[in-house]
């Protein structure tokens, strides 16, 4: 009986350890030396300011982030990237969905889905970045302050979030805005 239990445990661990790799619908890359995030299928670039450690392949993400990527994937979304500054004071992530919603409608839907967990909702600010409507939403959640930026390229809705503790946030909001301001639509080749 002990050997059957041991065999069951070993088989269970093997199955868990051999989970299928996550497929990327929108393969991307972060060029660390240039601090540039590029997504050719979605046709955009972002230039980061400062030292960021960003992972774009969900199969290389830490376990908790991989679970987040799996959750998004099951919902028809894709976790494009996740990362933080090297000292760990600031976080970022990108999510894509093929919903063809205008940026403000997409932002409103995300806000409504998360309203139970949100504190200090500072509302939306809408701007134009080289012909692309960008919606910024600032709010607090679980002791962190977030700035989320929503935009649409073709039929793709893209959501880029930055967060930090409130004591750092106001000093770095302009940095987050500068990163989003670097948004460049490419031809995708």
Segment 80-131, tens digit of pLDDT: 998 999 888 999 999 999 999 999 999 999 999 889 999 999 999 999 988 8
Residues 168, 182 contacting (CB under 8 angstroms): no
Q: Using only C-alpha atoms, what is the Rg of the chain? A: 18
Please count the other Cβ atoms lying within 10 Å of the Cβ belonging to residue 132: 16
Joined tokens for residue 68:
């987040």
Among 87, 101, 86, smallest CA distance to 159 is for: 101
**pLDDT value, residue 13:** 40
Band of residue 30 on the pLDDT scale cut at 50, 70, 90: confident
In this predicted structure, what is the pLDDT of residue 17? 46
**Domain 24-185 carries which CATH code?**
3.40.1000.10
**Two tokens, residue 132:** 């692309």
**Complete edge-to-edge strand list for the sheet that includes strand 29-31:** 29-31, 36-39, 44-47, 184-185
pTM equals 0.84
Q: Where are the domains of the chain?
A: 24-185
**Spatial separation of the C-alpha atoms in residues 94 and 161, rounded to whole Å:** 6
Cα separation, 139 vs 29, in Å, equals 28
Lowest mean pLDDT among 8-22, 100-114, 123-137, 138-152: 8-22
Q: Quick check: helix, strand or coil at residue 8?
A: helix
């Amino acid at each position: 009986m002990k050997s059957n239990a041991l065999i069951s445990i070993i088989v269970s661990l093997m199955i868990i350890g051999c989970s299928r790799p996550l497929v990327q619908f929108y393969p991307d890359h972060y060029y660390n030396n240039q601090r540039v995030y590029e997504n050719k299928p979605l046709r955009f670039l972002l230039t980061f300011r400062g030292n960021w450690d960003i992972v774009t392949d969900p199969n290389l993400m830490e376990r908790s982030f991989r679970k987040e990527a799996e959750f998004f994937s099951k919902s028809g979304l894709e976790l494009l990237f996740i990362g933080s500054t090297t000292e760990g004071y600031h976080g970022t992530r990108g999510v894509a969905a093929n919903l063809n919603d205008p940026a403000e409608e997409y932002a409103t839907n995300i806000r409504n889905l998360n309203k139970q967990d949100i504190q200090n909702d500072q509302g939306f600010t809408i701007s134009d970045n080289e012909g692309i409507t960008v919606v910024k939403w600032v709010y607090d959640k679980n002791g962190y302050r977030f700035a989320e930026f929503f935009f649409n390229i073709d039929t793709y809705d893209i959501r880029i979030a930055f967060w930090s503790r409130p004591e750092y946030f106001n000093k770095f909001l302009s940095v987050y805005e500068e990163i989003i301001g670097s948004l460049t639509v490419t031809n995708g080749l």
